[in-house]
Amino acid sequence: MYKNYTHKTGVLHRQVHKILLIMKLTTFLILIGIMQVSATAIAQKISLSERNTTLSKVFIKISEQSGYDFLFSGNMLKGAKPITIQVKDADLKTVLNKIFDGQPLEYSIEDKSIVVSKKEASTLDKIKTVFTLPMDIHGKVLDESSQPLIGATIQVKGTNESTSTNKNGSFILTNIPDGSILVISYIGFETQEVKAEKNLTISLKANISNLKEVVINKGYYTEKKELSTGSVGVLNASDIEKQPVSNPLLALQGRIPGLIVTPSNGLPGAAVKLQLRGVGSLFNGSDPLFIIDGVPFANGNDRVGLLGGFAAQGGQSPKFSLTGVVNSGAGISPFNNVNLQDIESIEILKDADATAIYGSRGANGVVLITTKKGKAGKTTFSADVYSGMSSVTHFVPMMSTSQYLEMRKEAFKNDGLTPSNIPGDPGYAPDLTVWDQNRYTNWQKWLLGGTAKNTNVNASLTGGDQQTQYLISGIYNYQNTVLPTDVAEKKGGGSVAITHRSLDGKFNYSLSTNYTIDANNSFSPSFGVFLNLPPNLPALEDASGQLVWQQNGVPFDNPMANFLNKYQITTNNLISNFQIGYKILPGLEMRTSFGYNALISDEAQAAPITAQNPVTNPSATGEATWTNSKYTSIIIEPQIEYGKSFSWGKVDVIVGGTYNNIVNKGNYIKGGGYTSDALLGSLSAAPYISLATSNYSDYKYAGFYGRMNFNFREKYIINLTGRRDGSSRFSPERRFNNFGSVGAAWIFSNENIFKDKLAFLTYGKLRGSFGVSGNDQIGNYNYLENWAAYPFPYNNSTSLVPSGLYNPDFVWERDKKTEVALELGFFDNKLTSSITYYQNTSSNQLIPYNLPTQTGFGTILRNFPATIENTGTELELSGVPFKTKAFSWVISANVSIPKNKLKSFPDFESSGYTNLFKIGQPVNVILGYKNLGIDPTTGLYKLQDANGDGSISVDDYQVLGTTDPKFYGGLSNNITYKRFNLSFLFDFKKQIQNSFIGAIQGNYQPGTLTNQLSYVFDRWQNPGDVGKTYQRYSTLPSQNVNDLQESDLALTADASYIKLRNVSFSYSLNPSILERFHFKSCKIYFEGQNLLTISSYKGGDPETHNYNVPPLFTTLVLGIHLQY
């Protein structure tokens, strides 16, 4: 047994020994494998190309290439230095050693993780800390021109210790440990790090093209332009303030791709129209949404006032006769009540991604106006004062007296009439029979040849600490006109802004209030009345200054009587916004915004007895009109935002709601029969009321919205937006609708392959978006049955008549927007460019549907399946050709190429709109007759009988073109040399507009008692004449006058132009000189607006394209800007 046992034991021993050998060998091989794997991982090749990049971003890129994860606590990287590194195919440890060098951190590798920890101070450093005394630091922060930077932030790296510069750019930090690093930052400049010393002077370099620093405002949130998935145009205060204009919308001309800015005329207060990326509705509003400090502008861009003065002209051509005036107008702009120098920035939101969060209100784009807020630092007083003048520098050529008389005599001869001095006679011609044949007055220069004065004073007080900042400002502006009378616009106002954040950073609130009052007393007759007066009209005043109404017993209407008419409009505008927020948890914040806007206007107009012809109307009485209107807008918007960062990127979520209520109410009262001009200001003194009306409308809007943004390693970004809107303009059954968008961006310049292969490419992004929105700009109460008061009483009681049918079935118009864009930056973004293509499709059009006359109503609002398509390409290019310490030159250009067409319209032929639109053509298509030239035999224009039926009718209409521009854009330059700065802007537009023939043919036909543009002196005179500009003269409306107004001769002319829109030249005084007088800065500047126009257009100013309205004026101002 024992032996056997012993034997067996020997066998077992040998077996165990073999097993142990195998285990040892296996363990050895595993250890070798692990070491090999570890060595392979650590020796993995890492390639990086980073400049001033955060440590967390570098961690992400190393993790992507190595597979290692970085482990660290949330705030550990707060004091880390930015990383600048350039390595290719380096091993992991080499790269880690480089990025941790000089950092207050250290690392260790554990398995597949890199553990980051705070670096413990060495024994020597601890001893130094004990025996090293802290120091006080005195410093100054300047720009490249040695100008102080006010409000620059200086922070001790790795601590919460910080301060900001005062009015001189100076700062003090006390008890700062020796060896500390200071981080100096200022918006628009490169952040700089310096070692702490007792006395420092830091010069920051302007960061002209750093996309990483540019932040854009999208209303409900802000984001870096580099990471944006949407299309936003931005105009900053630095560009806005260089333009001597009273309306901030005019500051946008030529600067924003896709945006067309059209002023109605050149007078102060004149309306300005905006159109963003084309017309999207056949009959309803296409205006963008206007938001000022988070509050919808109550009036939008609708006209202010119901009567309209001289500045309100535009659009239609007024008429003149010897016996009266007919006025028309575009209205006065509400944006004259917004102070230009209060504005910090204007953002234009264009595509679905940028506008979808505004839902249906943003269907036509969004204009965000943000006013200035307070800045931390010592209290700073700023004052800006300028004074200047405006004038008309280009007049249309009018006939001389000899040319005019020759035209008149020839017209009478052509008509077979004899001139007479008998009123009512077919040949009545006082200009040929009574008035001085040698007298000449250039009425155009008489009316617009003066010089307007312009004075603007703006002052502000700002300051505060890191928790609370404030701003108080005031404005006064005075502008008169070139007119030979006391007509002016006066504006005054003020603003207050307070921003506060608690010490722990959790609680915050802001309050901003802006108030302006604007008074305009421009009188009411139209420019065309004066422009076309006969040049030999008698003197308008006698030796005593009294108006002359007749000569040699023959009466005439004296145009100077129009100056006796009185007009006044006073507008008050209040905009206030209060925001309050609280950070509930890290990354989770709740806030609410409350906004209020009130736009109140009072208007009065009086036609005194003294302004009426006592010869032809001896029993004339006076007339007075009063109107008032009040727009109020209340908005409440609660919002919750949550953001969280992960190792792979970041997620942001916003959820909120909107309630907006806009109320408009007004009155219109007209009194007549006044027998004394002294009583015109009293309504109770009116012998009778000829008209009294009132209006009231209440618009309510509510919505819920959400946004989710995914940022994956700052390479791939997705932005999702959804909104449910409700509008009171639709019936309860159709009131709500859902809208949304998706945007995505790929920042391919952050891919290693592009960094390695394309070192010159600094920034590259491909983005796109798609979304659906709606349009509710259809007016209020269209779905209800409407009734109106009948003007004549029944049985001595007020009666009502139906004015609108019950119509609950129409629904929202639908807008689909698609966009794709490529954005590039080269050579550290010294050269940047972008190209954008968009396609916007608007369907389910709300159109007035023609009803049979038996119904008693003309039309009813109805949805048609018509589709409008707007497509276009927008190009932007910006570069820094030269940049040194003393000199810099920045140039920017943009071009927009839009296309618009009515894509489809089922049952179009029976719609009743065949004479207004054509399928496949732009909405703004020009339809009319084709002119065949002047018949050499009759001397009259001939029109083409397109359908060959032997007669001229609307059936012969042809497509003549479109008033949409073919392309437009701008070119700006900004040149700085030491303390000098020069900037200038050219803008251009290729377009077709109405010709001067249309204006004269409709209202002032050559040969009648009206002066003419000298172009028509080239006319047909005898049979056989060919190649002439104008047909035979006539004193009577010719048989083809109406047809000619609808022909290409009248409707089409090349109105393309290039304009030197703005020039600004400034000089900043040397700070060393200013310090003696305790000033922070002083800048003297010269600015000019509308300085040069290059155009072949013969109908006056190609922008207003109507020589019967005042052209845009050339403005020159000289000013000074002081900071104390």
> pTM for this structure?
0.81
User: Is the residue at 3 inside a domain?
Assistant: yes
pLDDT, residue 521, reads 86
DSSP codes joined into one string, 46-74:
EEEEEEEE-HHHHHHHHHHHH-PEEE--T
Region 947-958: what's the mean pLDDT? 88
DSSP codes joined into one string, 1023-1060:
TT--S-SB----SS--TTHHHHHTBHHHH-EE--EEEE
Please, what's the b/e burial string for 582-600 (b: 16 or more CB within 10 A of its CB; e: otherwise)?
ebeeeeebebbbbbbbbbb
pLDDT surpasses 70 at 201? yes
pLDDT, residue 82, reads 83
Calpha distance 45→65 (Å, rounded): 8
- Across 23-37, 566-580, 767-781, least confident range: 23-37
Region 757-769: what's the mean pLDDT? 91
pLDDT, residue 686, reads 93
Amino acid at 389: M
pLDDT, residue 775, reads 83
User: Is the residue at 612 inside a domain?
Assistant: no
Q: 100-109, pLDDT tens digit by residue? A: 888 888 888 8
Calpha distance 865→600 (Å, rounded): 39
User: Is the residue at 22 inside a domain?
Assistant: yes
pLDDT surpasses 60 at 94? yes
DSSP codes joined into one string, 825-858:
EETTTTEEEEEEEEEEEEESEEEEEE--GGGT-S
Predicted confidence band at 45 (pLDDT cuts at 50, 70, 90)?
A: confident
Predicted confidence band at 639 (pLDDT cuts at 50, 70, 90)?
A: very high
Predicted confidence band at 128 (pLDDT cuts at 50, 70, 90)?
A: low
Predicted confidence band at 1114 (pLDDT cuts at 50, 70, 90)?
A: very high
Q: Which residues contact 17 (CB under 8 A, 6 or more apart)?
A: none
pLDDT surpasses 80 at 527? no
Average of per-residue pLDDT values in the chain: 85
pLDDT, residue 133, reads 65
**At which of 176, 203, 230 does a domain end?**
203
User: Is the residue at 1120 inside a domain?
Assistant: no
pLDDT surpasses 90 at 919? yes
Both structure tokens of 34: 């692990």
pLDDT surpasses 70 at 647? yes
- Across 633-637, 793-797, 816-820, 1038-1042, least confident range: 1038-1042
SS3 category, 922? coil
For 421, list phi and psi in degrees, rounded to 5.
-110, 25
CA-wise closest residue to 239 among 252, 222, 226: 252
Q: How many CB atoms lie within 10 A of CB 634?
A: 17
Amino acid at 493: G
Asked if 183 and 154 touch (Cβ cutoff 8 Å), the reply is yes
SS (H, E, C) 959-975: EEEECCCCEEEEEEEEE
pLDDT surpasses 50 at 1098? yes
Asked if 575 and 293 touch (Cβ cutoff 8 Å), the reply is yes
Output the domain CATH number for residue 149.
2.60.40.1120
pLDDT, residue 36, reads 42
Q: How far is CA 1050 from the centre of its chain?
A: 32
- What burial class does residue 299 get, using C-beta atoms within 10 Å of its C-beta: 0-12 exposed, 13-18 middle, 19+ buried? buried
DSSP 453: E
- Enclosing domain of residue 20: 1-40
- Across 568-577, 838-847, 1031-1040, 1112-1121, least confident range: 1031-1040
pLDDT surpasses 90 at 204? no
pLDDT, residue 601, reads 92
Region 50-75: what's the mean pLDDT? 81
Q: Which residues contact 984 (CB under 8 A, 6 or more apart)?
A: 972, 973, 1060, 1062, 1063, 1064
Q: How many CB atoms lie within 10 A of CB 212?
A: 15
SS3 category, 702? strand
User: Is the residue at 197 inside a domain?
Assistant: yes
User: Is the residue at 104 inside a domain?
Assistant: no
pLDDT, residue 526, reads 65
SS3 category, 36? helix
pLDDT, residue 857, reads 81
User: Is the residue at 138 inside a domain?
Assistant: yes
Asked if 619 and 630 touch (Cβ cutoff 8 Å), the reply is no
Region 1026-1054: what's the mean pLDDT? 80
Amino acid at 385: V
Predicted confidence band at 330 (pLDDT cuts at 50, 70, 90)?
A: low
Predicted confidence band at 29 (pLDDT cuts at 50, 70, 90)?
A: very low
How many domains is the chain built from?
2
Region 175-194: what's the mean pLDDT? 82
pLDDT, residue 25, reads 44
pLDDT, residue 23, reads 41
pLDDT, residue 1041, reads 63
**At which of 179, 203, 227 does a domain end?**
203
pLDDT surpasses 60 at 1077? yes
pLDDT surpasses 80 at 752? yes
- Across 202-216, 448-462, 627-641, 881-895, least confident range: 202-216
User: Is the residue at 137 inside a domain?
Assistant: yes
Asked if 911 and 864 touch (Cβ cutoff 8 Å), the reply is yes
pLDDT, residue 130, reads 52
Return left, alpha or beta for 907; rule: phi > 0 is left, psi -120 to 50 is alpha, else beta.
Answer: left
pLDDT, residue 313, reads 54
Calpha distance 647→645 (Å, rounded): 7
Q: 455-481, pLDDT tens digit by residue? A: 999 999 998 887 899 999 999 999 998
pLDDT, residue 937, reads 92
Q: How far is CA 998 from the centre of its chain?
A: 32
**At which of 203, 223, 257 does a domain end?**
203
DSSP codes joined into one string, 585-621:
ETTEEEEEEEEEEEEEEEEEEEE-GGGS-TTT-TT--
Q: Is the model more confident about 1116 or about 1040?
A: 1116
pLDDT, residue 203, reads 85
Q: Is the model more confident about 145 or about 340?
A: 340
Predicted confidence band at 516 (pLDDT cuts at 50, 70, 90)?
A: very high
pLDDT, residue 512, reads 95
Q: 870-907, pLDDT tens digit by residue? A: 999 999 999 999 888 889 999 999 999 999 999 999 98
Q: 280-328, pLDDT tens digit by residue? A: 888 887 889 999 999 998 778 888 877 765 555 554 333 222 323 233 3
Q: 848-865, pLDDT tens digit by residue? A: 888 887 777 888 888 888
Q: How far is CA 626 from the centre of its chain?
A: 33
Q: Is the model more confident about 250 or about 45?
A: 250
Beta bridge partners of 772: 740, 816
pLDDT, residue 38, reads 42
Calpha distance 511→595 (Å, rounded): 10
Q: Which residues contact 677 (CB under 8 A, 6 or more apart)?
A: 608, 609, 610, 622
Predicted confidence band at 125 (pLDDT cuts at 50, 70, 90)?
A: low
CA-wise closest residue to 876 among 766, 965, 969: 969
- Across 349-363, 664-678, 1035-1049, least confident range: 1035-1049
pLDDT, residue 325, reads 29
Asked if 192 and 201 touch (Cβ cutoff 8 Å), the reply is no
SS3 category, 926? strand
Region 425-439: what's the mean pLDDT? 93
In the sheet that 162-164 helps form, which strands lie side by side, from edge to edge?
162-164, 153-156, 181-185, 192-195
pLDDT, residue 1046, reads 79
